[in-house]
Amino acid sequence: MFGRPAIARPVAAAFVARLRDGGTPLALVLTAEHGTGSFAVAGFATGAFGLAAALSRPVHGRLLDRLGQRVLISTAGANSLATLSFVAAVQLGAPPPVIVAVAAIIGLLLPAQAAALRALLPELAGRQLRPAAYAVEANAQELTAIAGPLIVAVLVALLPPGGALAALAVVGFAGTVWYATASAVGDSRGVAGTPPRSAALRSSAMWALMTVVVAVSVVLGVVQVVFPAFAADRDAAQLSGVLLAAFAVGSLLGGGAYGGGHWRWSNERQLRVLLPAIAVGVALLSLAGSIVVMAGLAVVAGLAMAPAFAVTFLVCDEIATPGRTAESFTWLGAANTAGFGLGGALAGVAVDRAGTGTAFVLTATVVLIVAAFLWARPDLLRRTPQDRPPRS
């Protein structure tokens, strides 16, 4: 697949651009705390950034659908300017409300790079390579989440305060320009005049797919809380990152295997198998009694994660309202954010009240409930005549 320049350049460029997405939350915290001496201000700034980014995703998706993918250059440029303004505001001693407000603006202007690539991949890859392309994209999603913070850690050690955040702004903008100026991306035009009633969420199948994404993303939120708690209970808090890395390795291995295979089952049937596999893997984590065993089980638990995300991308491409593909992918991103947050909240309460094992069992139950609905209603992820957009 990567032997085809029309695919390789947009995928590579999008990965570079999204390093900004993966590293900005940590860089915001470090920059704000260093400048203000307050983790409270840093936390509010990061929260404002995340909330604003989540709320603005569908708007960015509509812009992509209507104006074409090169609109990313404008939004990325504005985002980089806002990021540099944040660094300047902190260093000049701006009041906390101003710092938080600028962080929110950074989130509002964050380009919908992931949705743009996912909407373009079917055109670039063709039907035969679509599963492999979306598997690569699912792994890229995992890698940017890992690489972003690691890059920030290195930059913080090498650059003056605020330098890491400024560097991310430059790298993100450069990656977006590299992506948007690719010939394959430039050939992708917006869809003008799409009727307002053909909104992305008009499809009932889209709501069902978002529910699936929430369930899978709950797992991500849970492990971010429960793995550190498990390690701390064994006086090995410093190894919590090892457990998270093991889970990520499992996901990457699963995504690689999925992308390299040829699957005859329908996407809906694949999800009906992958969700129970995720649930079983998460439930097995409750049996671990040591860090070593937990690390091994974490690899197993992660195996079905990237394939599940890849299949949700395939389903989204199939059921998206015509002219609203990018917006549909931004709604999947919003569902991912919501599931991650719900998972963190669920894990926090469960760990405090009943322990880490119970948190894993509850999480597996959530995923199994959604899987049961897919088994009971195989048509949930299929478009119906009522979902079709009205004639203009």
Contact call for residues 91 and 162 (beta carbons, < 8 A): yes
Q: Is 193 inside any structural domain?
A: no
At 12, which CATH number? 1.20.1250.20
Question: pLDDT digit string (tens) for 95-116?
Answer: 999 999 999 999 999 999 998 9
Does one domain contain both 109 and 211? no
Q: pLDDT tier at 17 (50, 70, 90 boundaries)?
A: very high
Q: CB burial class (10 A; 0-12, 13-18, 19+) of residue 259? A: buried
Query: Rounded mean pLDDT of 64-70?
Result: 88
Instruction: Give residue-wise pLDDT tens across range 139-164.
Output: 888 888 778 878 888 888 899 889 99
- Residue 192 in any domain: the answer is no
Could you tell me if residue 390 is inside a domain?
A: no
Residues 207, 177 share a domain:
no
User: Is 223 found in the same domain as 160?
Assistant: no
Total number of domains in the chain: 2
Does some domain include residue 191? Answer: no
- Position 11 in a domain: yes
Closest CA to 79 of 177, 187, 216: 177
Asked if the structure places residue 368 within a domain, the reply is yes
pTM of the model: 0.81
Percent share of the chain, pLDDT over 90: 46
No. of helices (H) and no. of strands (E), the chain: 14, 0
Q: Specify the pLDDT at position 189.
A: 58
Domain with 269 in it: 200-383
For the segment 356-368, the average pLDDT, to the nearest whole number, is: 96
The answer on 20 and 152 residing in a single domain is yes
Is the pLDDT assigned to residue 392 strictly greater than 50?
no
pLDDT at 315: 93
Phi-psi region of 362 (alpha: psi -120 to 50; beta: other; left: phi over 0): alpha
The pLDDT of residue 391: 44
Query: What is the reported pLDDT for 238?
Result: 81
Domain assignment of residue 116, yes or no: yes
> Quick check: is 115 in a domain?
yes
What does the pLDDT look like over 178-233, one tens digit per residue?
Answer: 999 988 886 565 555 554 545 677 778 999 999 999 999 999 889 888 988 999 89
What pLDDT shows up at residue 197? 45
